[in-house]
Structure 1
């Protein structure tokens, strides 16, 4: 009895495995092609390079965090300005890349600490600004392809 059950199980396993590789209904046209090869690949378009300018106004010295593809952190005398090239490619053209500048507070004329104003320009067009004061949010923008 045990041999009969084992033999039947092996035969069923063979039938099931053979059934998984059955005809796809396309007359054998897809034979030898993987499922991923059958789907067209997404074309995003050619890479795009953009000129990004960050600016922090005010007086004194501030620690500034900024990103234009890569993250940076530096201490600088104000006013401060930095220009970088950002190249978008592939999925970045649609999803975008986060760019930002975040200055830390500086001592104001009255002795209190305030956040300096900031701005971001992309290809000569201002895309974000923050007048500073009590807000520490800085400036940010998601750069996407055109």
Structure 2
């Protein structure tokens, strides 16, 4: 049994890495189809990141407007996820999972955008079988990317400007 879990975890990690490297997601930056599945992860271990302050003496016109960005992965059980929010990270989490950060695009990011992405692994479906976990990205309270609760087996991504 342990070998099956190890092989499954390795396969999921490789699939997630391939998805990140190939830049999967909607060409328009939405990362999938729209569909509001509610706030399944509300109240469960959210982690808020503190905004970083601008260095003293930096011209005011170099930074853009600050945005509150939340990434979520829905489902049941534990899974490996990869994300780029305020940092790029891969970790094993218990679902549902949520992370929030305040991001201020600076310099070229104001023009070309800053990529926010979350690549969920698999979660246990109602029938006990593994299925793609759901993911969403919310910017300033507005949902901007959603993989339809795992119906679209792609990462959620959005270019923040």
Common topology (TM > 0.5): yes
Runs of 5+ unmatched residues, structure 1: 1-42
SS at match of 1:45: helix
Q: 1:100 aligns with which of 117, 122, 127?
A: 117
Does 1:47 pair with 2:63? Answer: yes
- Which residue does the alignment assign to 1:84? 101
Output the aligned Cα RMSD: 2.0
Question: Does structure 2 conserve the Cα–Cα contact (< 8 Å) formed by 1:66 and 1:101?
Answer: yes
- Which residue does the alignment assign to 1:62? 79
Report deviation, 1:133.
Answer: 3.7
Higher relative contact order (CA 8 A, sep 6+): 2
Question: Does structure 1 conserve the Cα–Cα contact (< 8 Å) formed by 2:67 and 2:103?
Answer: yes
Larger Rg: 1
Question: Does structure 2 conserve the Cα–Cα contact (< 8 Å) formed by 1:44 and 1:90?
Answer: no
**Structure (1 or 2) with the greater strand fraction:** 1
Runs of 5+ unmatched residues, structure 2: 1-58
Whole-angstrom CA distance in 2 between matches of 1:55 and 1:81: 4
Report deviation, 1:125.
Answer: 1.0
**How many residues matched?**
102
List 4+ stretches of structure 1 deviating above 3 A: 43-46, 132-135
SS at match of 1:98: strand
Question: Does structure 1 conserve the Cα–Cα contact (< 8 Å) formed by 2:75 and 2:124?
Answer: no
- Which residue does the alignment assign to 2:154? 137
Residues 106-143 of structure 1, C-alpha deviation per residue, up to 9 Å, x if partnerless?
23232321011111001111111111445331210011
